[in-house]
Amino acid sequence: MSDLFPFYLLVFFCMGIMFKHALKKDKSLINYLFAIFCASLCMVGMQKLSASSIGIYQYFIGFATCATCNVVWLIARTLFRESNPISRRHVALAAAIAGLIVFNQTWHLLIAIDIQHLLASDSMLRIKEGMNEITTLLSSSILALSFWEAVRNYSQKNKSERLQSIIFASAFCLAVFNSSILPKFLFTPTEIDQYFPWLMTFSALLIVAAVQLVIYLQNKDRSLASFCTDTQNQLNADQEHTIDLSASKNECVDMKVVSGINALINNQQIYLTPNLKIADFAQALKTPEYKISRAIRIHYKASNFNLFVNQFRVKHASNILLDQDAQHWSILVVALESGFSSLVTFNRVFKSITGAMPSEFRKQNDLQSHNKLPQCGLG
């Protein structure tokens, strides 16, 4: 039992992290990748735990262990690249490595069911040897690329980003060193077999913990950035309102400006642009900002620019929430499609205008649509 305890630890710890990300609302790409990686590590532990009891069937479990080092590389790209972290060629390379792992498990399965006379031919042995060489080469390369993703452009990163790079790169190097290099210096071959479960589990959990910590730090940074943006927008709105109050109340609104605003709103739907500012209106219409502000306050009866824009965004979001074809869209997707830069801001603004949270608004209207269905009966 003591030899199996590390694998139990690996399975339960990774299973907890997997469910945490798989069941998370408004999941992003990193949540999907991390859940897949943790699930693959669970299968590694399950294969080790079940080997003595289910025999050759363990290799069927081994098919699900194909998302380890290759998915770590995709995770590293997603964490440390801001735009287009994963393309088709990256997925193709990761899939190729997964295929090689599946091939290796299939080979062991065929040996276990005693058809070695088919596998002992020269051609099959050469294929197996070639596959081993390719797997070793690609696995080593993908591990090096995972480390490179964390440290690339290190000098251009801010303090928080450097900390995240150090955490990931340090944990990654320590895990590789601990599982492949250090045992050969400290233990005999017999002792390596004895301590292998602990070495493998420690290395795997170290990478899992590092990735989880980096995800937490990045979410914290995004929340802080969103808060700062909201604060700055509010300050800008207050400043615009102060300028409007100090302007002459008797001055007429320039109707050319009103027509330009209408065109930007109705034809170009400029309100769907994230982080939109009154300066963007002024630049588009080639007119001073104070004229835009005066038109919004006097003609459109909006107290400030943010409220004016958010009214159109909320209307756009409401139409999406009512659209039956968009019922599978998450609230985050609706927020981003409506021009909001964060889910927190969208929820706050939507409730302040409509009196209900977006999720409540969708449920209420779904219920009303259901109640309006014609009633059918006998007689």
Percent of the chain with pLDDT over 90: 27
Query: How do the domains of the chain map onto residue ranges?
Result: 5-222, 247-370
- What mean pLDDT do residues 9-24 have? 93
Q: What is the chain's percent helix, strand, coil content, to nearest 5?
A: 80, 0, 20
pLDDT higher than 60, residue 80? yes
Q: pLDDT band at 377, cuts 50/70/90? A: very low
Given a cut of 70, whether residue 43 has pLDDT beyond it is: yes
User: Distance (Å, rounded) from C-alpha 233 to C-alpha 37?
Assistant: 39
Confidence of residue 376 (pLDDT cuts 50, 70, 90): very low
pLDDT of residue 156: 87
Closest CA to 138 of 172, 100, 105: 100
Rounded to whole angstroms, the Cα distance separating 43 from 49 reads: 10
Q: pLDDT tens for residues 300-325?
A: 888 888 899 999 999 999 999 888 88
**Measuring CA to CA, how many Å separate 286 from each of 233, 254, 272, 281, 291?**
22, 13, 20, 8, 11
Q: What percent of the chain has pLDDT over 70?
A: 87
Phi-psi region of 26 (alpha: psi -120 to 50; beta: other; left: phi over 0): left
Q: Would you tell me how many other CB atoms lie within 10 Å of the CB of residue 14? A: 24
pTM of the model: 0.61
Q: Which fold has domain 5-222?
A: Rhopdopsin 7-helix transmembrane proteins (1.20.1070)
Per-residue confidence (pLDDT) for residue 240, from 0 to 100: 58
Predicted pLDDT at 120: 58
How confident is the prediction for the chain on average, in pLDDT?
83
Residue 248 confidence class, pLDDT cut points 50, 70, 90 = very low
| C-beta separation of 54 from 13 below 8 A | no
CA-wise closest residue to 264 among 284, 242, 246: 284
Among candidates 297, 282, 288, 289, which has minimal Cα distance to 245?
297
What confidence score (pLDDT) does residue 249 get?
Answer: 46
| CATH no. of 247-370 | 1.10.10.60
pLDDT digits (tens, 9 = 90+) for 145-192: 999 999 998 888 889 999 999 999 999 899 888 877 777 777 777 777
